[in-house]
Amino acid sequence: MRLTAGHPVDDIELAFLPPLDWSRMLRFFGGRATGGVETVDDDVYYRTIQWQGMSGLLRVCKDSQRHCLIATVQGEASRYISAFETRLRNLFDLNTDPAQVRAAFDPDPWLSQLISQAPGLRVPGAWSGFELVVRTIVGQQVSVKAATTIVGRLVDRAGTAAVAPFHAATPWVFPSPAALAGANLDKIGMPGKRVEALQGFALAVADGRLNIDAETPDVLTLRKTLLALRGIGPWTVEYTAMRAWRDSDAWPGTDLVLMQSLLRRDPTLIKPAHQRLHTEAWRPWRAYAAMHLWNEIADRAGMARGG
């Protein structure tokens, strides 16, 4: 540990098996960044964090010479940097062997081609499963840009000001479950039922009914518990399993972009049941199939689409 500008600083190297497409990873995060809490700036990912009551600024970049990411924490939370190595590895999907994914999809000409076009594509994770589900609820039936705007408003209303140091674009810490559950969200920009769903979810996490950020998640139980909450549908559950719980076989099959992609590829796949059957051949890597399909659309459109 060292001092920089009067603040304690520590860093950690996070090795991975190549390839890793850092630019597409950052495009995904940048398009969905929680306003005031996280940002992507000059090929670097930043966010404010709290750990054991200590705050800090997380900075992650890709080493230009070696197959590793360098994660730096500045602030009091830096003393715990080794404790959240697992969370960082999950955030950037560093435990996956890309060769295994490629081998699994080699028999499928479509996915094999997509992997050749983006061989280092990973499934971006989440620093906080709670934050991810909040954003997912907010994003129901609105664009990625609109969801980002509304989440920024939530942070303004229920978040807490970050203790220095922080990046100019990350002056806030994301609201706690209890703070969000009790916040006044009148005129936040969401329908009343969605606000109820959001605060009902936050309350379930706050009172311990849903351990959304368990270190060793029981994915089956978490799926059932989350789905049982009012206003939470299968897409939200699968998307959360895919990113927060690192379920490599999660499949958000009701996603409109995925459904349209499958239909364009094979016009006979009209019914959801037919599409689900088609994806059986992609097990146990369907989350990666989803990412490649979303990425294909994003590459064509030149923007962050899907998820």
197 and 231 in contact (C-beta within 8 Å)?
yes
Q: For residue 67, give both structure tokens.
A: 């197959």
59 and 177 in contact (C-beta within 8 Å)?
no
Token pair 């088609």 is at which residue?
278
Dihedral sign, Cα of residue 306, residue 114, residue 106, residue 22: negative
Catalytic hit among 93, 213, 247, 255: 255
207 is a catalytic site residue:
no
Q: Which residues are catalytic?
A: 255
